[in-house]
Chain A
């Protein structure tokens, strides 16, 4: 399974993270997204005319939407990540998978604006990002009142992985995460999962790392 990947892309990280959590080995094909804009070049446009990454290729299956990639990995390797199949839970998984596109547009747009100086109305992007974070926070509060720690269930599903990266990187786009206690606890729960992997700006819980008792001088 080949992933056209860029290390700083939160959408690509979703797929790498899902693969790590479900113990699937990916064949990583690095893309020069910035500054090369390789995703808009002829080779990648032939795979994905939309000109975005990630792209996941498995024999003649070509996927260009990260949510579909998460579902594919889970269905093949670890179906428990799709939820129990109960009607309400299935609907909640779909609800948050669709919602994750709004995080990409708002928080992701603000981050591209701030980090890569992409044009855009930063005030509007940040306001949309805050509106989306508030929805996520309210959803997690209500799940907590139902006795569940994750977006669709009491265990993590593809829905959590689809929403997590752009939320965790919101500060890169100038959007604070301080006002969201339920999101803070949810992020901790995800960052402490077994086989969790990091990306620049998103770290495993430091508490779970070995205590750096002996470090070289000069820090």
Chain B
């Protein structure tokens, strides 16, 4: 998404879906990440592979300001350097043990991970609030066809019912899947929010039907 000369930003999750002290998997075209938030609230993204024996760090856990691997407990700082090896408590881990990290930005309730070195900040989505994220087994093109709209840099605007439009940010995933972030106006009522969530499921069903029939471009 949002290519510029040096890089781009992928919207990977809603801020609300990553509370302090938690980790989750997040995929961008640069690869699989462990996306985590420290106890003090700072976000970070590292490659989703522990340098020790390759365990997924997104299966790990957060303690304080570090991400720990579930397998043997090696823990990593937000900058990617190894902080601790439990089997060798007296050892200061060498600088060479580190996980690759990506830049993370958080704004308007969304978390974005950099692919490459984007020059600008992620787009702002003022006046909108994120509702939920869901994954479709359908390509971005199939979702665009189902919605009858083309995704610009700020997603697609989709009419749910006569009086309500929602915004969908689409992030292509592996295996022809698409991560959809649903946003709506910040003054929406609880009933409108539930309607928007159900509408997003309807759109996903339509796009998956197109994809299954091979109709999508």
Residues of A at the B interface (CB closer than 8 Å) are 134, 137-138, 141-142, 145-146, 178-179, 181-182, 184-185, 188, 205-207, 211-219
Query: Which residues on the B side are within 8 Å of A219 (C-beta)?
Result: 72-73, 86-87
B104-142 Cβ-contact flags toward A at 8 Å (1 or 0): 000000000000000000000000000111110000000
Are the CB atoms of B86 and A215 closer together than 8 Å?
A: yes
Pick the contact of B197: A141, A206, A214 (CB < 8 A): A141
A94 to chain B, nearest CB (A): 21
Q: CA A207 – CA B36 in complex, angstroms? A: 14
Contact between A215 and B89 (Cβ–Cβ < 8 Å)?
Answer: yes
Interface status of B19 (Cβ within 8 A of chain A): yes
Minimal beta-carbon separation of A203 from chain B (angstroms) = 9
Is there contact, CB below 8 Å, between A212 and B134?
no
Q: Which residues of B contact A137 (CB under 8 A)?
A: 134
Say if the beta carbon of B201 comes within 8 Å of chain A: yes
Range of interface residues on B (Cβ < 8 Å):
20 to 34
Q: Given contact pairs A206-B70, A207-B62, enumerate 20 new A-B contacts (beta carbons under 8 Å).
A: A137-B134, A138-B197, A138-B198, A138-B201, A141-B197, A145-B194, A146-B190, A178-B24, A179-B134, A181-B24, A181-B132, A185-B17, A205-B61, A207-B21, A207-B61, A212-B73, A214-B89, A215-B89, A219-B86, A219-B87
Give the chain B neighbours of A217 by CB distance below 8 A: 87-88
CB-contacts of B165-217 with A (<8 A): 179, 190, 193-194, 197-198, 201
Q: A212 and B86: CB pair below 8 A? A: yes
Shortest CB distance B144–A (Å) = 20
Q: Does B14 contact A (CB under 8 A)?
A: yes
Query: Cβ of B17 and Cβ of A181 under 8 Å apart?
Result: yes
Is the Cβ of A213 less than 8 Å from the Cβ of B89? yes
Q: With both chains docked as a complex, state the minimum distance between the C-beta of A18 and any C-beta of chain B, in angstroms.
A: 26
Chain A residues lying within 8 Å of B146, measured Cβ to Cβ, are: none
Cβ–Cβ contact B61 & A206, under 8 A: yes
Q: Could you give 25 example pairs across A and B, Cβ below 8 Å?
A: A138-B197, A138-B201, A141-B131, A141-B132, A142-B194, A145-B190, A145-B194, A146-B190, A179-B134, A179-B179, A181-B17, A181-B132, A181-B133, A184-B24, A188-B22, A205-B61, A206-B68, A207-B61, A207-B63, A211-B63, A213-B86, A215-B73, A215-B86, A215-B89, A217-B87
